[in-house]
A and B are shown apart, each in its own frame.
Chain A
Amino acid sequence: MTTSATREGGLRRRLFGWLAALSLLVLACGDASTADPAPPVTLGSVDCETVPVRETDLCHAIDVGGTTVRYVLYEPEGSTGATVLMDPGGPGLSSLAGTGIGQFLATSRLVEHLDGYGFLMVEEPWVTADHTVACRTAGRQHLAALRDGAEPGGLEPWRECLAPGRHGWSPARYREVVGAIAERHELDVDGFVGASFAAARLAYLDGDTAPDWALLANPLPPGMELREVLAHQAESATAVLGGWADAGDVVGQQIDTRSVPVAEIDVVAAAYQVLGQGGFTGPAGPGSADVGILSDLYTGRYGDGAMSLSRLAYFEELCPYTAGAEAAGDPGLPGPTATTAAFGRAYHRPCAALPGGPDRPASWPDSTLVCVVQAPADQVLPAERVQALASGLGATVLDAPAAAGHADLAILTACAEDERFAAVIVP
């Protein structure tokens, strides 16, 4: 077994690295408050045990261009190689270690429609990526500045930390990885099933890797811009906050299980976090402990103020795909959403370090038949705009029930049962 040895080596490197990092930071910043007391994390060689995955027996690791990628592949008995690529969205979702392919299959309720297919789910790179000094510094500074309401720091640390394909997927890297997996197992990736940001991954595919058909729930289509998304989310978050009668009362509270007191920004971030998960129970709004947890989930804050690798992947992939560099510099609009909108823009400031380039996809693959089902009450993405863009790209666009939200994957059955697609999906 190599895992523990790997871990051990990793831990050792972390600690030596930490000492080096600390002295570097002190030299570079001269500011102890932004120095990261935890060591950088270097995992060494990566396999399915590096970060434990849920579906142990289905997990594989493959070296593509010198970096290891992990995925789960289920192949039915007598498989012909016909495979559906599953993508739960993100960016920044821990799909193998956190949720698992079984969860996605069950939530989407598509299993009976996909009888005979194999299923493939690929893990985002950040889950097994090193946590470098540059990124630890950039993330910590960013979160501290947000919390203090200070001027955001310079973009230099972000330029050093972020690069497409490092923590999240770049279009080219995603294509390369899917192609390598398909070749290794002799798979035909016939279908694609995904939610939300999965629409971007579909747009990354082309040529041999382009699927014949794709079913997408509440997608973020090519052409959508970050400023549109942020404007919609600011509106949604403002509405959420309007329903939290006592939300203001928790500001300033210090609880035993959190290193920092609840700040106003935590309440706003908590409102952003619940947009994607179907709201919050209780009439008065979350208490201080829940605000802290929700805020930390949104912003990626963990440990003693570090930023999760998940959020690095989020910036790396979302920003170039949605021309986010421009939105990050947008002065914004006054009005009732001023507070929530200001938070959204400030949080996405690292986008300015990630200009979109010629690699930005403009459409889904020409050869792919795409079905989109969109929840009208989606709080994360503007439903009408999604539908307009998807129609413009030639997709079949279906309405989800009025009560459905961004996270409802069960709406995908509408696509699977649509007669145009039911005929195509048969393997």
Chain B
Amino acid sequence: MMRRRARLLTAAALIAGTVVVPASGTMAAPGGQAGPAEERVERLQALLPDVALERSRVLEDGRTQRIYTLDQETADLGRMRASDVSRAGENRRDDVNAKVDFHLDLAMRAGRNVDIAAVDVIAVEVPDTAAVHFVQDRADELAVAEMVVTENGDDSFMFGIHYGAANDEASTAGTSAGFDAATGSNVWNKGRGGRTLFWTPAYNSSVDHWVTTNWEKWQSKSNYRDWGYNRYATFDAADGGSAGGGMRWRGDLVDATIRSRPWKGYESRVVGGPYDYDPRPSSSCQTYTASLNVGSYASLSIPVMNCTSEYEVYPNANAHSMGTAWYGRTTGQRYLDFAFEFRTSSNSTIPVFADYVWMEVQYCKSYTGAQCGLWNPSQYLKWTDSGW
């Protein structure tokens, strides 16, 4: 297989509309290429010339994880304001304009009016894993960026990037205009944000995998130390395209997970929780009581849609973290959400949370579109904030 050099796509390349993403056909999973460990390290380093290998570690399950740190200068090469991207008139999967429009349009239709100046575009290309575009609400300051490549043992990779900045500001903007209902009782919204992540599928497709992930912070008006944190995300695995010989690729979403925990370095701001949280393991459509208490006199309302047993929740009182995962199989979308109540160290403390997104996509060639003879190694795709 031809080796390509990993690079952050430069702003200049984006502006010129010359972003190059490998053709899908060359993105097949690198099965059957196992080699000695040193060779693998060398190969990975060759793939990532712009970044330094920071450290590597062996995970509990035996997989090796290598972490590369992107310095500010390098990272900024791959990051630019959406408003600075010139508009190309040609639709390609890597067309950044289309992705920005997608992000803005989707947010608008969900009741979030996002200014284009508040949107960043980040593009990273890592051969043999995935090309990644992020279109996200702008973080004012870049804290740190890392790329994480995990070898799964079967010579497939998991690719993740830690990128972002602590959103340390409290905002009080609401949700929507008009004669509509509120979203909470005796709580203030203290900030919200979202991003859309695009990943190139490992199989031929005219579109990318994408995930929209959003967060909201709510504070009780009765006790300023009582807060709620709400996460919600939609996952969509890319439709498969032609696989030649009358066959088609099929891509299934089989695992979707979201987690949140206090931002690294800001842990001490959160001193308790999750107290109340949703969804509960016992949640069902039958009860449908989706009210979350935030302190004694306030409540936050979140939707509960976890009507099946395919969900797991991960409240952790020690780490003050929360998560939920869905395990199943769908060629369609999957929505996940959770909310939890927690307490800050003082009335004036603004809590900061780091978010995590994970998806696993299984894929295969199929004649019928329904039956798969042999699944390829999964694509594992992960996003975390830098404060994770």
Please classify how large the interface on chain A is, using the bins under 10, 10 to 19, 20 to 34, 35 or more. Answer: 35 or more
Q: Provide the bound-state CA to CA distance between A286 and B169, in Å.
A: 13
A51 part of interface (Cβ distance < 8 Å): yes
Chain B's closest residue to A50 (CB) is B109
* Min C-beta distance of A42 to chain B, whole Å: 11
Contact across chains for B178 and A89 when beta carbons are under 8 A apart: yes
Which residue, of A76, A131, A308, A318, has the highest number of chain B Cβ atoms within 10 A?
A308
Within 8 A of A (CB), among B264-316: 285-292, 299, 301-305, 307-308
Within 8 A of B (CB), among A66-120: 74, 76-77, 88-94, 97-109, 111, 119
Contacts of B370 in A (CB 8 A): none
A195 part of interface (Cβ distance < 8 Å): yes
Known: A52-B212, A52-B234. A280 touches B303 (CB 8 A): no
Known: A107-B185, A111-B288, A297-B173. A54 touches B101 (CB 8 A): no
Contact across chains for B303 and A100 when beta carbons are under 8 A apart: yes
Contact across chains for A281 and B331 when beta carbons are under 8 A apart: no
* Min C-beta distance of B90 to chain A, whole Å: 7
Contact across chains for B101 and A302 when beta carbons are under 8 A apart: no
Contact across chains for B181 and A280 when beta carbons are under 8 A apart: no
Contact across chains for B332 and A3 when beta carbons are under 8 A apart: yes
How many residues in B have their beta carbons less than 8 Å from beta carbons of A? 77
Contacts of B98 in A (CB 8 A): 11, 14-15
Contact across chains for B108 and A302 when beta carbons are under 8 A apart: yes
B183 part of interface (Cβ distance < 8 Å): yes
Contact across chains for B111 and A310 when beta carbons are under 8 A apart: yes
Contact across chains for B291 and A54 when beta carbons are under 8 A apart: no
Q: Provide the bound-state CA to CA distance between A266 and B98, in Å.
A: 29
* Min C-beta distance of A79 to chain B, whole Å: 11
Q: Provide the bound-state CA to CA distance between A89 and B176, in Å.
A: 11
Contacts of B171 in A (CB 8 A): 289-290, 293
A142 part of interface (Cβ distance < 8 Å): no
Contacts of A424 in B (CB 8 A): none
Contact across chains for B110 and A97 when beta carbons are under 8 A apart: yes
Contact across chains for B302 and A106 when beta carbons are under 8 A apart: yes
Chain A's closest residue to B185 (CB) is A410
Contacts of B380 in A (CB 8 A): none
Q: Provide the bound-state CA to CA distance between A310 and B175, in Å.
A: 12
Of the 9-residue stretches A175-183, A245-253, A254-262, A365-373, which lies at the interface with chain B?
Answer: A254-262
* Min C-beta distance of A354 to chain B, whole Å: 16
- Residue in A16, A53, A220, A408 whose beta carbon sits within 8 Å of that of B335 in the complex: A53
- Residue in A256, A286, A303 whose beta carbon sits within 8 Å of that of B140 in the complex: A256
Chain B's closest residue to A195 (CB) is B181
B102 part of interface (Cβ distance < 8 Å): yes
Q: Provide the bound-state CA to CA distance between A46 and B175, in Å.
A: 25
Q: Provide the bound-state CA to CA distance between A126 and B140, in Å.
A: 32
Q: Provide the bound-state CA to CA distance between A108 and B181, in Å.
A: 9
Contacts of B333 in A (CB 8 A): 3, 49, 52, 56
Contact across chains for B238 and A106 when beta carbons are under 8 A apart: no
Contacts of A280 in B (CB 8 A): 172
Q: Provide the bound-state CA to CA distance between A15 and B91, in Å.
A: 7
Q: Provide the bound-state CA to CA distance between A395 and B177, in Å.
A: 27
Contact across chains for A276 and B111 when beta carbons are under 8 A apart: no
Scoring B residues 317 to 339 as 1 if CB is less than 8 Å from chain A, else 0, what string do you get?
00000000000000111110100
Contacts of B112 in A (CB 8 A): 98
Contacts of B90 in A (CB 8 A): 15
A228 part of interface (Cβ distance < 8 Å): no
Known: A15-B98, A54-B337, A409-B181. A259 touches B83 (CB 8 A): yes
Q: Provide the bound-state CA to CA distance between A410 and B303, in Å.
A: 16
Known: A5-B207, A52-B212, A100-B305. A88 touches B181 (CB 8 A): yes
B143 part of interface (Cβ distance < 8 Å): no
A154 part of interface (Cβ distance < 8 Å): no
Contact across chains for B181 and A107 when beta carbons are under 8 A apart: yes
B142 part of interface (Cβ distance < 8 Å): no
Q: Provide the bound-state CA to CA distance between A57 and B304, in Å.
A: 10
Q: Provide the bound-state CA to CA distance between A111 and B285, in Å.
A: 12
B22 part of interface (Cβ distance < 8 Å): no
Q: Provide the bound-state CA to CA distance between A90 and B332, in Å.
A: 30
Q: Provide the bound-state CA to CA distance between A119 and B173, in Å.
A: 30
Of the 9-residue stretches A33-41, A329-337, A338-346, which lies at the interface with chain B?
Answer: A33-41
Known: A56-B334, A90-B178, A281-B188. A257 touches B117 (CB 8 A): yes
* Min C-beta distance of A145 to chain B, whole Å: 18
Contact across chains for B299 and A106 when beta carbons are under 8 A apart: yes
* Min C-beta distance of A82 to chain B, whole Å: 16
Contacts of A273 in B (CB 8 A): 174, 177
A18 part of interface (Cβ distance < 8 Å): yes
Contact across chains for B177 and A314 when beta carbons are under 8 A apart: yes
Which residue, of B87, B179, B291, B308, has the highest number of chain A Cβ atoms within 10 A?
B179
* Min C-beta distance of A232 to chain B, whole Å: 12
Contact across chains for B291 and A5 when beta carbons are under 8 A apart: no
Contact across chains for B305 and A55 when beta carbons are under 8 A apart: yes
A19 part of interface (Cβ distance < 8 Å): yes
Within 8 A of A (CB), among B87-142: 87, 89-91, 95, 97-98, 101-102, 104-118, 138, 140
Within 8 A of B (CB), among A256-284: 256-259, 272-274, 276-278, 280-282
Contacts of B87 in A (CB 8 A): 18, 37
With A74-B288, A277-B174, A281-B221 given, name 13 new contacts (CB 8 A). Answer: A11-B91, A11-B101, A39-B101, A94-B109, A99-B111, A103-B302, A106-B301, A131-B105, A196-B180, A259-B83, A290-B171, A301-B115, A303-B108
Q: Could you list 26 examples of A-B contacts with CB < 8 Å?
A: A4-B236, A5-B207, A11-B101, A15-B98, A38-B104, A49-B333, A55-B335, A74-B288, A88-B180, A92-B177, A93-B178, A94-B111, A106-B292, A106-B299, A107-B182, A196-B180, A197-B180, A257-B140, A281-B172, A296-B115, A302-B114, A308-B108, A310-B177, A380-B179, A381-B179, A408-B185
Q: Which 6 residue pairs are nearest across A and B when measured between Cβ atoms?
A: A407-B182, A102-B303, A100-B303, A293-B173, A196-B179, A106-B301
